[in-house]
Amino acid sequence: MSENEKNGTLHPDTRKEPPAPASRGPDGPATPPPSEPAGHAREPLTRSPETPAGSTKHPPASPAPAVSPAGQDAASSGTPSVAVASNTVLQSSPASGGMPLKQTQTVSPTAHLQPAQKAPPPRPRSFWQKLLSPFINLPDAPASASNRLPVISSPGATTVPGDAGPQTAPAMKPPVVTFRHVTKIFNQGTSQEYKAIENIDFEIEDLPDVGEFIALVGPSGCGKSTVLNLIQGFPDVWPPTTGEVLVRNKPVTGPGKDRGMIFQKYSSFPNRTVLQNVTFGLELNRDSLGYSPAEMKARALDMINKVGLIGHENKYPYQLSGGQQQRVAIARTLVLRPRIILMDEPFSALDEPTRIDMQALITNLWHEVEATVFIVTHSLAEAVYLGDRIFMFTPGPGRLAEKVFIKPADIGKEPGMSPLNVQEGDKFKTKLHEITGKFLAYEEGSRK
């Protein structure tokens, strides 16, 4: 097979002898004539007064346009076939004895559209061009946009792609959160003026289908919680004194359902059951979400089950332990599937075994919702375990001293391992020792 046949195109040739006429068998329809040159567009057969009935006279052969091999297959199989020349379709069928039925300007779904003029021989295609050519318009180099050949696809899917112009790469997603030279001063111009953070600059990329876990660490009063509150847009902190806070390249103007907050203190409504607490956000946003009461209840129960509180949905917060109350807060936040989750020391009031369980829970749910998570913590071990990046702040006014990247392999973290097993490993202890050394160096350096 030649290279042109592999590419799905045949070049026209010219035959000087006319094709043999069709002959009728003794018991059935006419036997198709011998195959003609590829792409030969036959004109209607004509009878002359001198020609006896049952015989036909053919016009002289003319140069044939290019044709796909699929057209030859159809002719040899005895199924109805079409040939295209100058946008004219000639249809024939065995039942008609090979005689033309009609001419039409509409190509049937199984027709293969062919170029009406000769094209210069293309260069041999690469392996990937041959593989992708049935699905993507890949012109043969050095063909220009003006003489691209149509893509010959499978029967029923013939298309003629136009000049698509220069191809551009897919647009990048905007950053999830951007801080540009942000400073926040409380009670500015008064005797109680206090600068919480100063000149904070960072950008969190939107990792496709993954999200990222950002751990904020630093001494008390360094402005970690202020950073979270500015992202959320709480009115008692927002706006920044100077600088700009953006969420997906749009300035933050207030809270939104695309950002969920989990606080250090238990924040459930005491007069609502677990189920009613989890459905609260859904009810608040029912107009924009468009959920029916039954769908809201179903979604809430599904999230209650995921945080391990199924069977407790009709209890009130005072009937739950501290760990259970924090699970209610997590369920209430995640049921809205926010793209950004803000956690302000959510596990600090829990005992160590419960804290380990909550770390495993939030990690599993984070992978499911694929959100970007900011967590403020005073536990360096928790920051090293949870964080993809650790933002280290200096004592107030808080400045972003260093960004430390943490890879799972750096701490011996593998899928399916419990937080306790990871944190007891040698790799984790080595990385924790390194982060602790950095933390103490920044803290001591700011005191000098």
Domain boundaries, the chain: 1-10+64-85+122-158, 188-447
Predicted confidence (pLDDT) at residue 11 exceeds the cutoff of 50? no
Q: Which residues of 404-420 are buried (b: 16+ CB within 10 A; e: fewer)?
A: bebeeeebbbeeeeebe
* More confidently predicted of 298 and 448: 298
pLDDT band at 380 (very low <50, low <70, confident <90, very high): very high
- Of residues 127 and 212, which shows the higher confidence score? 212
Mean pLDDT of the chain: 74
Question: 97-101, 234-238, 366-370, 444-448: which has the highest mean pLDDT?
Answer: 234-238
The pLDDT of residue 170 is: 54
Alpha-carbon distance values, 362 to 341, 391, 412, 423 (Å): 11, 19, 19, 16
Taking only the tens place, the pLDDT of each residue in 138-161 is 445 444 444 444 444 444 444 444
Rounded-to-integer distance, Cα 249 and Cα 175, Å: 7
pLDDT digits (tens, 9 = 90+) for 147-206: 444 444 444 444 444 444 455 555 678 899 999 999 999 999 899 999 999 999 999 988
Superfamily of domain 188-447: P-loop containing nucleotide triphosphate hydrolases (3.40.50.300)
Amino acid making up residue 151: V
Q: At what angle do helices 322-334 and 293-306 cross, to 10 degrees?
A: 130
* pLDDT score recorded for residue 117: 52
pLDDT at 134 over 60: no
Confidence of residue 323 (pLDDT cuts 50, 70, 90): confident
Distance between CA atoms of residues 438 and 160, nearest Å: 62
Helix axes 352-369, 322-334, angle to 10 degrees: 10
Among the ranges given (141-150, 298-307, 348-357), the one the predictor scored with the smallest mean pLDDT:
141-150
3-state SS, residue 370: coil
Whole-number Å distance between alpha carbons of 350 and 296: 30
- pLDDT per residue over 308-318, tens digit each? 899 999 999 99
What integer pLDDT is reported at residue 267 of this predicted model?
A: 80
Residue-level pLDDT at 228 = 95
Helix (H) or strand (E) holding 213: strand 213-217
